[in-house]
Structures are given as structure tokens and as C-alpha cells.
């Protein structure tokens, strides 16, 4: 991802929220999401993290059609159960491209990079009620690990569950 991609990434992210979270979050909240505000946040955050935070985009015919972001696990609760793990912070695909393999390609690239960086596992948070996303992650080898967090949007509980996947180091199990 490069800085000029921020506007398109924001558009994909906001449209992704408005599509995937319909019925899971208050519609008034989803309707109020702003591509311009999100793009400004993307630009302001771009390049932070000293290279530890990786933003990837998927392109088709020169157009950005998906975005993923990963980096070190954020342990906001101080539990320490994610020490040394990577976290998939976000993955969104243009709603018109869902089901075309874009998300799978982004997830594979993120897991490959995290494996190459030496992480033993990758964690992510997903809305408990988002059965489509949960199925997507399960097909990629992730599964719930028992972690749950309350998440509230405009006074409505939207709980998240944590998914985990063990990452295999390149060459592990190979004979020399």
C-alpha cells in the first residue's frame, strides 16, 4: 500500500462495514460513517509503527479492490496471552468483489508475511454474529480460542470473539 491508496482503502473499509455489519450494528451508526473522515485517519496513521504494521492492498486491473493490515498483537487488556503473536487488524474487500478470492489472497499474504517474520501464531477479532466472516476465517484454518470482548456501538452490544491460527515456519518439518 502507498499513501495515495488511503482514499480507496477508506472507501472499501466503510462500504465493507456498511455491507457486512448490516443488522449487526445500529443502521444509524453505519449510515453516518464517512469515507472522507476514514481516509484522513488512514493518511494520518500511514507509516506509523516503524515498519511493524503492514498495510497490503489487492489490485485488479490497476484498481485497489481489497485491503488488509497486520502487525504485532495488541494486548489492550494486559492478559499477555498474545505475546509474540501477530494480529490481523483488518481485512476488507470491495463488496462487489466479495467471493472472488481477493480476501483469501490478502489473508494468505498476511499469514505468509507473519510466518516469515517468525510469529508462531496469528490472532484476529471478529464480530460474534458475523457468521460469513467467521466461516471465511475457519476455512483458512483459524478458530475461536475462547477470547471474547464486549464491543458497544451506539449503546448496542456487538460482542467480538478472538480467532487464532498456528503459523508454521518456512521449512518446518522438511528433511535436510
Cα separation, 124 vs 167, in Å, equals 13
Using CA of residue 111, residue 117, residue 118, residue 122, what is the dihedral sign?
A: negative
In the predicted model, what is the mean pLDDT of residues 138-144? 97
Q: Residue 124's closest CA among 79, 161, 157, 84? A: 161
**Model confidence pLDDT, tens digit, residues 45-99:** 887 767 789 999 999 999 999 999 999 998 755 555 666 799 999 999 999 999 8
Q: Residue 78 in contact with residue 38, Cβ under 8 Å?
A: no
Q: Write the pLDDT tens digit of every residue in 37-60.
A: 999 999 998 877 677 899 999 999
What letter would DSSP give residue 120? S
Residues near 62 by Cβ (< 8 Å), separated by ≥ 6? none
Q: Whole-model pTM?
A: 0.88
The 3-class SS string of 149-172 reads ECCEECCEECCEEEEEEECCCCCC
Integer distance in angstroms from the first to the last C-alpha of the chain? 37
Tell whether the model's pLDDT for residue 175 goes beyond 80.
no
Query: What is the DSSP secondary structure assignment for residue 46, as one 8-state letter?
Result: T
Amino acid at each position: 500500500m502507498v499513501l495515495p491508496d488511503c482514499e480507496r482503502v477508506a472507501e472499501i473499509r466503510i462500504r465493507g462495514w456498511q455491507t457486512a455489519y448490516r443488522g449487526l450494528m445500529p443502521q444509524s451508526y453505519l449510515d453516518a460513517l464517512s469515507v472522507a473522515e476514514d481516509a484522513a485517519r488512514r493518511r494520518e496513521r500511514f507509516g506509523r509503527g516503524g515498519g511493524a504494521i503492514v498495510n497490503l492492498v489487492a489490485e485488479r486491473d490497476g484498481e485497489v479492490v481489497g485491503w488488509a493490515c497486520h502487525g504485532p498483537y495488541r494486548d489492550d487488556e494486559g492478559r499477555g496471552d498474545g505475546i509474540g503473536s501477530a494480529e490481523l487488524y483488518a481485512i476488507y474487500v470491495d463488496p462487489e468483489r466479495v467471493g472472488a478470492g481477493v480476501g483469501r489472497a490478502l489473508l494468505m499474504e498476511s499469514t505468509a508475511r507473519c510466518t516469515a517474520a517468525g510469529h508462531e501464531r496469528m490472532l484476529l477479532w471478529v464480530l460474534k454474529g458475523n457468521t460469513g466472516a467467521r466461516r471465511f476465517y475457519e476455512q483458512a484454518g483459524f478458530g475461536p480460542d475462547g477470547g471474547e470482548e464486549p464491543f458497544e456501538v451506539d449503546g448496542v452490544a456487538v460482542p467480538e470473539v478472538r480467532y487464532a491460527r498456528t503459523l508454521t515456519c518456512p521449512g518446518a518439518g522438511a528433511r535436510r
